[in-house]
Amino acid sequence: MISRRRLLKLCGMAALATQGSTRAGGSANNTVRVGVIGCGGRAQGLAAQFARIKDVSIVALCDADSARIDSTAKRLATRIADPGGLAKFQDYRHLLDRKDIDAVVIASPNHWHTLHAIHAMQAGKDVYLEKPVSHELFEGRQLVAAEQKYGRMIAAGFQSRSCPGPRDGFQFVREGKLGKILRVHICCFKDRTGIGKRPDPLTPPASVDYNLWLGPAADLPLYRNQFHYDWHWAWNTGNGEIGNQAPHEIDLANWLLGDAGLPTEIRSIGGRFGWNDAGETPNMQLAWYQLAGVPVTIEVDDLQLTPTRKVTGVRDGIRVGLVVHCEGGQLRGGLGGMYAVGVDGKMPIQKFPGDGGARHQANFIDAVRSRRSDDIASRIVLAERAAAIAHLANLSYRAGSPAGAAALESCIGGNPAVASLLADHTKHLADWGITQPAYTVGKPISMDPATTRVLTPGLDEALVHRPCRPEFTVPDLG
C-alpha cells in the first residue's frame, strides 16, 4: 500500500507536470486560457477577437475600475463559453497569481504597459501587449531584457505586421518596381477635440482604485473633464498622438526599411494650439530623422475640427498611413491596404488589398503553442523600436522651447520636405484664427541605436527616465 505521505508527493508531482504542460503552450486539452488586463474600449475589441479563436478561452478580466470590468464582462457574455465563471480582479497581481492562466492580453493605459508585461512574464505568462509597448526608452529596454530573461512569448499589437496589404506593397517596392526610395512620410490626421480645463481637480470615479490606476505614474492633480482615455494627452500617463496612433505607422516605416534599427538623431517641432485645455501633448507635431539612409518625416495633426468647419486633412490622399516617395512614383496606404501610383500621382498602377491584420491575434496564440518566438509577427524587439522613435520625438519636443520664425528656419536646416509641411500647418492654423503660432522648437536628440541610450548632453534626467512610485518601480533587468 502507498503511504499517505507518498500519495501526496505523487499527486504534487503530477500537478507540477500538468502545470508545466500548461505553461508550455496551453492546458492539457490544448485550450489556451487568457486573462485581460485593462478593460477599456480597445480591450473589449481584443477580448472579442481572442474569444473567436479556436481553443482559446477568456477566463479572467482585470481593471483598476470595477465598472469597466463589469462592462467588458457584459459585452463578452455571448462570446465566451462560461460567462458565469469569468473571474474579475481590480488588482492585476491577483490575476497573475492564477496558475491556470496561460497568457494575458494587456490593454491598460500607456504608463502601465511595461510593468504589467514584465510582472506577467515573471509570473510565467505569455503576453500580448498593446502599443505603444512602453512609456519611455528605459522601459522599452527592460521589456526586451525581460523576454530574454524569462523566456516567455511576447507579441505586440501592431496588427499591420499580419496584414497582406503592407507586406505585398513593400515587396513591390523592394523589387524596384517604383525605383529607389527617396523618402518616407508618416501621416496621422485625427479628428480630435479639446479635453476641457476644470477650475478644480477632477475626482476619479468611485469605482476606481486610484492607487492601482496610477501605478508607476506620479500622483498629480487632474484638470481634464474626463477621467478615462484623455490620459493620453498628459505626459505623466500618455505619449500624445505621436505615441498613440503614430506608432502603427512608424512600425510600418521600420518594416519597409528592413527593420534597420534606430536613428542616430531625431528632431521635432509643434505645439498644442486652439483648444486652451488641460492637455500637455502637442496636437500638431512634425518629427524627422534618417533610417537606413532614407529621410523619414512624421506628421501629426489632430486639429481636423475647426471652430467653423471640418477640415479633412490628407497628404497625397492618405489620412493615416504611409506615403513612400520613390523615383518612379509613390506607394500609399497602410493597415487597410496599399496602392502604387506613377510619377503623375493619379490612377493606381497596382493595388495591394489588406485585411486589417485579421490573423494577428491568432498568430500570437500559434506562438504560445509552438514556443517559437520567431513565429511571432510583431516581435517585442521590433515593436519597441517603433515606440522608441515616438519617445525620441517627444523628448526633442519636451526639451525644446517656444521660438519664432528665425529659430524654426534654423531648426529645419534647409529640409525641403519639413519646410513644406510646416507651411501647410501654418495655413491650417490660420483656419483657427491663429496667425502667429507659438511653435515649440525641439532640441536635437542624439542616441546610440545599439543601446537606446540618449547621448544629447544637458537634458533634464526626469524627461529621459521618470522616477516611479516605490510600490510600482519598473525593474532594471540589464
Which is more confident, 428 or 329?
A: 329
> Final residue of a domain: which of 111, 135, 160?
160
Tell whether 421 and 434 lie within a shared domain: yes
Which is more confident, 18 or 42?
A: 42
Please report the pLDDT score of residue 4 as a whole number: 41
User: Which stretches does DSSP call E strand in 148-194?
Assistant: 154-156, 181-189
SS3 content of the chain, % helix, strand, coil (to 5): 40, 20, 40
CATH, residue 391: 3.30.360.10
> 3-state DSSP call for residue 470?
helix
Beta bridge partner(s), residue 439: none
Under 8 Å between Cβ of 402 and 438? yes
Q: Indicate whether 385 pLDDT > 80.
A: yes
What is the Cα–Cα distance from 454 to 138, expressed in whole angstroms?
10
Beta bridge partner(s), residue 156: 129
Contacts of 91 (CB under 8 A, 6+ apart): 62, 209, 212
Tell whether 132 and 179 lie within a shared domain: no
Q: How confident is the model at residue 432 (pLDDT cuts 50, 70, 90)?
A: confident
Q: Indicate whether 431 pLDDT > 90.
A: no
Instruction: Determine the average pLDDT of the residues in 68-96.
Output: 94
- pLDDT, one tens digit per residue, over 310-336 is 666 789 999 999 999 999 999 999 999
What is the Cα–Cα distance from 140 to 158, expressed in whole angstroms?
15
Burial readout 365-387 (b: 16 or more C-beta within 10 A, e: otherwise): bbbbbeeebebbbbbbebbbbbb
DSSP string, 244-281: TTHHHHHHHHHHHTT-----SEEEEEEE--S--SS--S
Tell whether 129 and 194 lie within a shared domain: no
Residue 151 forms part of a structural domain: yes
Q: How confident is the model at residue 113 (pLDDT cuts 50, 70, 90)?
A: very high
CATH, residue 138: 3.40.50.720
What is the Cα–Cα distance from 103 to 128, expressed in whole angstroms?
8
Under 8 Å between Cβ of 421 and 299? yes
Residue 405 forms part of a structural domain: yes
Residue 423 forms part of a structural domain: yes
What is the Cα–Cα distance from 327 to 87, expressed in whole angstroms?
56
Residue 227 forms part of a structural domain: no
Please report the pLDDT score of residue 409 as a whole number: 87
Under 8 Å between Cβ of 361 and 56? no
Residue 457 forms part of a structural domain: yes
What is Dmax (Cα atoms) for the chain? 92
Share of the chain above pLDDT 90, in %: 85
> What angle separates helix 164-174 from helix 246-256, to the nearest 10 degrees?
40
- pLDDT, one tens digit per residue, over 219-230 is 999 999 999 999
Q: Indicate whether 20 pLDDT > 60.
A: no
Q: How confident is the model at residue 1 (pLDDT cuts 50, 70, 90)?
A: very low
Count the neighbouring beta carbons within 10 Å of the beta carbon of residue 221.
9
Domain count, the chain: 2
> 3-state DSSP call for residue 285?
strand
Please report the pLDDT score of residue 414 as a whole number: 86
Name the amino acid, one letter, at 145.
Answer: A
> Final residue of a domain: which of 132, 160, 188?
160
Q: How confident is the model at residue 453 (pLDDT cuts 50, 70, 90)?
A: very high
Tell whether 56 and 177 lie within a shared domain: no
> Final residue of a domain: which of 160, 188, 208?
160
Residue 225 forms part of a structural domain: no
pTM of the model: 0.93
Please report the pLDDT score of residue 478 as a whole number: 83
Please report the pLDDT score of residue 320 as a whole number: 96
C-alpha cell at 477: 533587468
Residue range of the domain that includes 168: 164-198+240-276+284-350+379-472
Residue 222 forms part of a structural domain: no
Please report the pLDDT score of residue 335 as a whole number: 93
Please report the pLDDT score of residue 22 as a whole number: 40
Tell whether 75 and 170 lie within a shared domain: no
Under 8 Å between Cβ of 123 and 96? yes
- Which helix (H) or strand (E) segment holds residue 339: the answer is strand 337-341
Tell whether 179 and 103 lie within a shared domain: no
Instruction: Determine the average pLDDT of the residues in 340-344.
Output: 96
